[in-house]
Chains A and B, each alone.
Chain A
Amino acid sequence: MNQDAFVVTVNLIKMAVIFLLMVQLVPILVWVERRGSAFIQNRFGPNRVGPLGLLQLLADAVKFAFKEEFTPGKGHKAFFYMAPIIALLPGVLAFGSIPLSIPFTLSGDGYSHTFATQVFDLGIGIVFVLGVSSLAAYALLLAGWGSANKFSLFGALRASAQMISYELALGLSLVGILLCFGTFNFSEMIAAQEVPLTFFLFGKEYTFLSFLPAWGIFYQPLGALLFFVSVFAETNRLPFDLPEAEAELVAGYHTEYGGLKMLMFYIGEYGHMMVASALMATFYFGGYTFPGLTVVGVQEFFSGTLQIESANLISIFTMLVFHVVLMTKILIFLWIFVWVRWTLPRFRYDQLMDLGWKTMLPWAIFNTVLTAVFLLLRGV
Chain B
Amino acid sequence: MISAALFYGFSAFIIIFALAVLFAPNPIVSALSLAATMVGVAGLFFALGSHFIAAVQITVYAGAVMVLFVMVLMLFDLKKEDAVSAMYVRFLKISVAGVILGLISGAITLSGFASNTTIMSVDTASVTPTKKLAVLLFTKYLLAFEVLGILLLVIAIGVVSVSRIKGGTHAKS
Contact = CB atoms under 8 A, between A and B. Distances in A.
A and B interact = yes
B74 A156 contact: yes
Interface stretch (A129-137, A224-232, A284-292): A129-137
B18 interface: no
A123 interface: yes
B63 A167 contact: yes
5 contacts: A124-B51, A127-B52, A130-B59, A141-B71, A156-B74
B28 A145 contact: yes
B128 interface: yes
Given A4-B2, A145-B28, A184-B130, A127 B71 contact: no
Interface in B52-85: 52, 54-59, 62-64, 67-68, 70-71, 74-75
A123 B74 contact: no
B58 A123 contact: no
Interface residues of B, number: 26
Interface of B: 1-2, 28, 32, 35, 39, 42, 51-52, 54-59, 62-64, 67-68, 70-71, 74-75, 128, 130
Contacts of A160: 67-68, 70-71
A281 B121 CA distance: 38
Given A134-B63, A184-B130, A141 B58 contact: no
Contact of B35 (A122, A127, A138): A138
B168 to A, nearest CB: 16
A17 B57 CA distance: 28
A124 B52 contact: yes
A8 B58 CA distance: 23
B75 A131 contact: no
A153 interface: yes
A5 B101 CA distance: 38
Contact of B58 (A135, A163, A167): A135
Contacts of A122: 51, 55
Contacts of A363: none
B14 to A, nearest CB: 17
B65 to A, nearest CB: 10
A161 B157 CA distance: 20
Given A123-B128, A135-B39, A141-B74, 8 more contacts: A8-B2, A122-B51, A124-B52, A134-B58, A137-B63, A144-B74, A161-B71, A164-B68
Given A138-B32, A164-B68, A157 B63 contact: no
Q: Most chain-A Cβ atoms within 10 A of its Cβ — which of B2, B32, B42, B67?
A: B67
Contacts of B35: 138
A65 B70 CA distance: 32
Given A157-B71, A157-B75, A184-B130, A127 B32 contact: no
Nearest to A163: B67
Nearest to B35: A138
A134 B64 contact: yes
B55 A131 contact: yes
B157 to A, nearest CB: 16
B1 A4 contact: yes
